[in-house]
A = this chain, B = another copy of it.
């Protein structure tokens, strides 16, 4: 993704936290915890995934669409089209 080290480490912490949440969810299903608890855990994972999604989109916009250093109009348009494709598949 060719972004800054700080951004990369922020995204990595987010995804590792999500992995931990998914592992906890797996244990809850294995040990047959109550439905309501399991549903709250799933809702939490979904919220964290949505948060990660928005961060990656924000980075994509800043780096590949709005960045003044983008080399050509064509590259900028490409960055915009990728973003629009993701939005179309995501917001349904």
Contacts and interface: CB of A to CB of B under 8 A. Distances in A.
Interface of A: 1-3, 8, 11-12, 15-16, 18-19, 22-23, 25-26, 29-30, 32-36, 38-40, 42-43, 45-47, 49-50, 52-54, 56-66, 68, 73, 76-77, 79-80, 82-92
Nearest to A72: B68
A20 B43 CA distance: 19
A43 B36 contact: no
Contacts of A8: 29, 32
Q: Which 3 residue pairs spanning A and B have beta carbons closest together? A: A66-B80, A36-B82, A35-B60
Contacts of A63: 35
A36 B87 contact: no
Contacts of A76: 66, 68
